[in-house]
Amino acid sequence: MRRIILLTVLLTNLAFASVKVDTTYSTAGAVAQKIGGDLVHVTVLGSPKYDPHFIVPKPSLISKLRRADLLIINGGGLELGWLPPLLRAANNAKIQNGAKGFLDMSHFVHMIDVPASISRAFGDVHAQGNPHYTTDPYVIVPMAKAIAQKLSQIDPQHQKSYEANLKKFTNEWQTYLNKLDAKMLTCKDKKVVQYHELFNYFLKRYNYKIYGTIEPLPGIAPSSKHTIELINIMRENGVKKILQDVYHERKTAQFIAAKTGAKVLIIPHDLGADGSKTLQEFYNKIANRICQ
């Protein structure tokens, strides 16, 4: 009987020992799980099926934030449309901006497409640059390092475990990157247009040329005038690939494809956006579809 009681106490202590980690999006959540292992409980707040700029601020998210020990955000202004009111309502001092349990991943990556000036005339631009950096598989390592460091600060008694997980994961990821790079070298047609500037980081990494976006400006719905101009640009330059994300309307892309002979390629912007369950599967789907 005494052994049963001791075992129950041990299991209870283990259950309460896990660090509760909230991430705003799935890719960061997968990295946090790799580094934290059994020592963390990861909750992803935003569904990858929807526009990451406008996650629905459900009341259930408040309770999740209220219990969190660590909040990992994408940053770069991507969460500004939905996260701040949830954080205020959660009233959790541990995960407020600037607190020990707050981690902005954009501080650990090189942001591109930083605007020279900010104006609503340029559409829904982000002052710090393009926030969709997780489409570049090379940002996974700096993200993992930042998460390991933060978990070690929050839970110093398990620092060695986090460091060991980081070393194992980064070695595995480098092996994966070598294979992905070799695959991308085989891609011949590197001309694309995209709906929204979601994939700039991946496209820049592998030397693709972007001939435009279906949106005339970021966050602005396509107009007839802009659509016709884009069709002409694609015809003049022989662009045969349209990168379509999972959450924008597809009718415009299909119309442009019919007029240009291009393919509409559905590309995931985040892990799980079209069913991927692992980081490797997520980036493989991007690579396989862009490389068609």
- The CA-CA-CA angle for residues 193, 197, 198, to 5°, reads 105
What is the mean pLDDT for each group of 10 consecutive residues in the chain (292 residues)?
42 60 98 98 97 92 97 97 95 97 97 73 66 98 98 98 98 98 97 98 98 95 97 98 97 98 98 97 98 90
The β-bridge partners of 20 are 41
Residue 26: closest CA among 210, 194, 246, 243:
246
- CA nearest neighbour of 101 among 62, 142, 154: 154
Q: What pLDDT shows up at residue 16?
A: 46
- Closest by Cα among 148, 136, 139, 158 to 34: 148
pTM of the model: 0.91
DSSP-based three-state secondary structure for 158: helix
Report which residue type is found at 110: H
DSSP H or E segment with residue 244: strand 241-244
Q: How far apart are CA 133 and CA 111, in angstroms?
A: 7
pLDDT of residue 120: 52
C-alpha closest to that of 171 among 144, 202, 153, 147 = 144
Give the model's pLDDT for residue 292: 86
Q: Cα dist. 167→64, 151, 225 in Å?
A: 30, 14, 52
CA distance 227 to 253: 9
Q: Is the dihedral of CA 243, 246, 247, 251 positive or negative?
A: positive
- Domains of the chain, start order: 2-177 (3.40.50.1980), 186-290 (3.40.50.1980)
What local confidence, expressed as pLDDT, does residue 6 receive? 39
What is the pLDDT, as a whole number, of residue 114?
82
Q: Which two tokens mark 254?
A: 């299909």
